[in-house]
Chain A
Amino acid sequence: MNLAAVWAIYVFEMNRWRRTILQSIVSPVISTSLYFVVFGAAIGSRIPEVEGVSYGAFIVPGLVMLSLLQQSLSNASFGIYFPRFSGTIYEILSAPVSPFEIVAGYVGAAATKSVILGAIILLTAALFVDLRIQHPLVMLLFLVLTAVTFSMFGFVIGIWADGFEKLQLVPLLIVTPLAFLGGAFYSIRMLPEFWQDVSLLNPVVYLISGFRWSFFGQADVSVTTSLVMTFVFLGLCLAAVVAIFRTGWRLKS
């Protein structure tokens, strides 16, 4: 195991993040704060409690998830796409590192950033709403699992993309809509039955639901289902990464 290499990649990625700390941290915090101001305070005060919690508190898990998904994807995809774009990937490919070590470095760093960001958003949220977390360990588990899963998904996107616009395509066209429709701002039980069933096809529903359960002890789907589904996505992303390195797809000619 080339731990020095994993560490080198990890540190490299974290340094890259530190250099752009403003856009990495400040912008998600500002946008989250805006959500709270608009949905939590302005509109939320006119919305009755949802599933026994104030609307402002209800949207916290969804907002954290939304940022977690977006940031994991953009961080991890950019992290591996940029060396491919600039050509410095030659160094990674010629180094004595296994695919697992490469992924551990890149995905580990991206997931770390996301978890830190998630924590910051939670703290920000605590400024606006009265926040109680019933199952902190489960919350942490979902936070880390989702960060890792979507960082790995981002890694796959970063390898698939052959231009900067494609890098934005999946987060913009698929993940953000899925997050918004996945119950970030509402309980899917508020939907007509047909749309509830349709919503269950949306993977993000399970992430948000499980995460929300850890806060309030109740959610759209059972926490076990959420956990199982989260592991399924993790498995799928892992399989994609393994396949990429097996075939050298987009990495080696």
Chain B
Amino acid sequence: MSDPILVLSGVSKTYKNGFEALKSVDLSIRRGEIFALLGPNGAGKTTLISAVCGIVSFTGGTITVGGHDNRRDYKAARAMIGLVPQELTTDAFETVWDTVSFTRGLFGKSRDDAVVERVLRDLSLWEKKDSKIMTLSGGMKRRVLIAKALAHEPELLFLDEPTAGVDVALRRDMWEVVRRLRENGTTIILTTHYIEEAEEMADRVGVIARGELLLVEEKARLMEKLGHKELILTLDAPLSSLPPALADRGLQLAADGATLVHTYDTNAPRTGIATLVGDLAREGIRIRDLETRQSSLEDIFVGLVADKNQPAEEARP
């Protein structure tokens, strides 16, 4: 891999009222990857992005974008970045074409109608190019914000909750756009509440909570490492308790007695499913239905954030 496009070292941000929004964050983003930053509300996702883009000042550490310090050499650093903010903050009276061209100019690029046209077409905004922004739907406004961020052909694109409040069809479209951008070599950092978004698109995932970056991992490895599967068996007749022969299998019997859950490691040499099914048949337990469930990033995420919160809760007087 070539040199990282974005490096944060020891970045911290303490607001005047003493609130620590970022606690010494170290992060290195590779060129061309899609990085998903996951975290609950108020975790510091937006603050982190804003610090990189120059919208908030940070109190400690350094940030370099493509090797340029984002404070000393802010022009070179910012010229590489496109930002799609979380809020739908657009002008109202400008046309789509004007607002996208405006951003291109603002980022120091000379006028190039072909680029603006391509960006608008890619985002299905071409037909709306002469419409005033205030006449557009929320989803269209979101596209306009993305178009603005892409107007100066950035190498690094931040998408702050790009699909919050966006319907399913538009979300799929958005993912498609992100994939296409990645194919063109754009590095993408997105923050999201939707775990499925990270799961669907990211190469790597970072989890942030309370201003601390808890974990950065290849998505696949993360899923693998923490991944386990559950086999859920719906029984024909409820059991009052597990038969003694099955007692030490780690099976869980639901409260209503009608569901058995068998948890297994997908990477283990033996999953134990075949034996289990045989044993159940031998005990005369009939299965009506079965289902397997892969633990999702969400489970992993909730686990991580909860673990992290535990000591803090206890420490509280």
- Of the residues B74, B90, B101, contact of A88 by C-beta under 8 Å: B90
CA distance A89 to B75 in the complex (A): 17
Q: Say yes or no for B137: interface residue by CB 8 A criterion.
A: no
Q: Say yes or no for A98: interface residue by CB 8 A criterion.
A: yes
**Segment among A3-11, A35-43, A61-69, A175-183 that sits at the interface with chain B:** A3-11
Scan B201-213; emit 1 where CB is below 8 A from any A CB, else 0: 0000000000000
Q: A252-B55, A252-B56 are in contact. Are A4 and B105 (CB under 8 A)?
A: yes
Q: Say yes or no for B119: interface residue by CB 8 A criterion.
A: no
> What's the tally of chain B residues with a CB closer than 8 Å to chain A?
35
User: Chain A residues with Cβ under 8 A from B81's Cβ?
Assistant: 94
Q: Say yes or no for A95: interface residue by CB 8 A criterion.
A: yes
Q: For A6, give the chain B residue with the smallest CB separation.
A: B105
Q: Say yes or no for A93: interface residue by CB 8 A criterion.
A: yes
Query: Cβ of A98 and Cβ of B106 under 8 Å apart?
Result: no
Tell me, rounded to whole Å, the shortest Cβ–Cβ distance linking A105 to chain B: 9
Scan A82-93; emit 1 where CB is below 8 A from any B CB, else 0: 000011101111
Tell me, rounded to whole Å, the shortest Cβ–Cβ distance linking A122 to chain B: 30
CA distance A12 to B104 in the complex (A): 12
- Of the residues A9, A87, A253, contact of B56 by C-beta under 8 Å: A253
Q: Say yes or no for A225: interface residue by CB 8 A criterion.
A: no
CA distance A88 to B56 in the complex (A): 15
Q: For A20, give the chain B residue with the smallest CB separation.
A: B93
Q: Say yes or no for B180: interface residue by CB 8 A criterion.
A: no
CA distance A86 to B101 in the complex (A): 19
CA distance A16 to B93 in the complex (A): 8
- Of the residues A5, A9, A91, A96, contact of B76 by C-beta under 8 Å: A96
Q: For A251, give the chain B residue with the smallest CB separation.
A: B55
Q: Categorize the interface residue count of chain A.
A: 20 to 34
CA distance A11 to B99 in the complex (A): 11
- Of the residues A4, A92, A253, contact of B15 by C-beta under 8 Å: A253
User: Chain A residues with Cβ under 8 A from B199's Cβ?
Assistant: none
Q: Say yes or no for B310: interface residue by CB 8 A criterion.
A: no
Q: Say yes or no for A2: interface residue by CB 8 A criterion.
A: yes
CA distance A36 to B78 in the complex (A): 52
Query: Cβ of B55 and Cβ of A94 under 8 Å apart?
Result: yes
Q: Say yes or no for B53: interface residue by CB 8 A criterion.
A: yes
Q: A2-B75, A8-B102, A12-B102 are in contact. Are A93 and B54 (CB under 8 A)?
A: yes
User: Chain B residues with Cβ under 8 A from A96's Cβ?
Assistant: 74-79, 107-108
- Of the residues B55, B76, B79, B98, contact of A90 by C-beta under 8 Å: B55
Q: For B85, give the chain A residue with the smallest CB separation.
A: A90
Tell me, rounded to whole Å, the shortest Cβ–Cβ distance linking A17 to chain B: 12
Q: Say yes or no for B83: interface residue by CB 8 A criterion.
A: yes
CA distance A11 to B109 in the complex (A): 15
Query: Cβ of A19 and Cβ of B93 under 8 Å apart?
Result: yes
CA distance A9 to B53 in the complex (A): 19
Q: For B75, give the chain A residue with the smallest CB separation.
A: A96
Q: Say yes or no for B45: interface residue by CB 8 A criterion.
A: no
Q: Say yes or no for A248: interface residue by CB 8 A criterion.
A: yes
User: Chain A residues with Cβ under 8 A from B56's Cβ?
Assistant: 252-253
Query: Cβ of B55 and Cβ of A93 under 8 Å apart?
Result: yes
Question: 30 A-B contacts, Cβ less than 8 Å apart?
Answer: A2-B75, A2-B108, A4-B104, A4-B106, A4-B107, A4-B109, A4-B110, A4-B111, A5-B105, A5-B108, A8-B103, A12-B98, A12-B102, A16-B93, A87-B87, A87-B89, A88-B90, A90-B53, A90-B83, A90-B89, A91-B83, A92-B106, A93-B53, A94-B83, A95-B78, A96-B74, A96-B77, A96-B79, A98-B75, A253-B56
